Amino acid sequence: MSAFPGAAFPGARPRRLRRTPALRRLVADVRVRPADLVLPVFVKEGIAEPHPIGSMPGVVQHTRDSLKKAAHEAAQAGVGGLILFGVPEVKDARGSGADDPAGIVQLALADVTAEVGDDLVVMTDLCLDEYTDHGHCGLLTDAGEVDNDATLERYAAAAVAQAQAGTQVVAPSGMMDGQVAAIRAALDGAGFAQLPVLAYSAKYASAFYGPFREAAECAPQFGDRSAYQQDAGRGADEGVREALLDVAEGADAVMVKPAGPYLDVLRAVAEAVDVPVAAYQVSGEYAMVEAAAAQGWVDRRRIILEQLTGIRRAGAGMVLTYWATEAAGWLDEQ
């Protein structure tokens, strides 16, 4: 008898199903589809041309016109949705642009929904950091701390403004206690009971957000967000607890952010909730791959698809990724 188990038990040969690309495709039980992907996009007020983001090669701050083109391309590629982040020309302490009917996100929403209709789902981020002059996610007390309950009122107003402008999903990312309940009550009271809420439930205080803060021009002017975002040193149970709280408050779907460093949390949340689960492959994850690929150190296409597959395998039904449109084209080729 051979000393090698594969020879002794010829029926137990998983390599047989790996021999060709066609066989591997046939037996794959984790697949990424274009419709699983959501494209994050930035639109900036007061610019005449798209503005490249230095730390995120290939990503831009859009004008309203270039945003419509990007939305059309995403829809044509079969991408499932896009999520819109606004960069106002003027910021203030209360983030007035967040609920201004003439604010950049509200105007861009009308543009995009007119452009793509129901061909993809148009979502809006709901936070204040892009709109405040101090860069924090809410209103501040005299002591410089984020006032949780006062901030909830601003989130509720922003949710209604986005709903009136035509968003199809609101996605609160501020990590305030009770934010989903406050937003759900405001939407229901304003006649938008049918509008879903995608909660950023397990959002970590992360170094992976650096390039995003350039893109959204929202770096905190003092301190950081560790007092209200989750700590990386906590186990997955805390992420699960946050997700279950949001579901109890009325969230229709939940999110884990960032994706790659928190796949354990993603898996635990996906197993615990009975609503769709999203994961956000954030700007730092994107920037690292692009930087390595520019040096020729990695196979760019393969590593992007491998990461997306890993995020799906961990339990995400939706993946927010800056590669959404490009990756959708690759997936159609497989």
Segment 192-223, tens digit of pLDDT? 999 999 999 998 988 888 887 888 766 666 55
The whole-number average pLDDT for the span 236-259 is: 95
* pLDDT at residue 7, rounded to an integer: 56
SS (H, E, C) the chain: CCCCHHHHCCCCCHHHHHCCHHHHHHHCCCCCCHHHEEEEEEEECCCCCCEECCCCCCCEEECHHHHHHHHHHHHHHCCCEEEEEEECCCCECCCHHHCCCCCHHHHHHHHHHHHHCCCCEEEEEECCCCCECCCCCCCECCCCCECHHHHHHHHHHHHHHHHHHCCCEEEECCCCCCHHHHHHHHHHHCCCCCCCEEEEEEEECCHHHHHHHHHHCCCCCCCCCCCCCECCCCCHHHHHHHHHHHHHHCCCEEEEECCHHHHHHHHHHHHHCCCCEEEECCHHHHHHHHHHHHCCCCCHHHHHHHHHHHHHHCCCCEEECCCHHHHHHHHHHC
pLDDT band with cut points at 50, 70 and 90 for residue 248: very high
* pLDDT at residue 25, rounded to an integer: 80
In this predicted structure, the answer to whether residue 332 has a pLDDT above a threshold of 80 is: no
Q: Is 203 a catalytic residue?
A: yes
Q: Is 91 a catalytic residue?
A: no
Cα separation, 150 vs 138, in Å, equals: 8
The single residue of 44, 68, 91, 203 carrying the catalytic annotation is 203
Question: For 85-98, how does the pLDDT look when each residue is reduced to its tens digit (9 = 90+)?
Answer: 999 888 887 788 78
By mean pLDDT, which of 93-97, 114-118, 312-316 is the weakest? Answer: 93-97
In this predicted structure, the answer to whether residue 10 has a pLDDT above a threshold of 70 is: no
The two structure tokens encoding residue 219? 């770096």
* pLDDT at residue 242, rounded to an integer: 93
In this predicted structure, the answer to whether residue 174 has a pLDDT above a threshold of 90 is: no
Cα separation, 32 vs 34, in Å, equals: 7
* pLDDT at residue 8, rounded to an integer: 57
pLDDT band with cut points at 50, 70 and 90 for residue 228: low
The whole-number average pLDDT for the span 139-154 is: 83
Task: List the domains of the chain with CATH numbers.
Answer: 31-333 (3.20.20.70)
The whole-number average pLDDT for the span 101-130 is: 91
* pLDDT at residue 5, rounded to an integer: 57
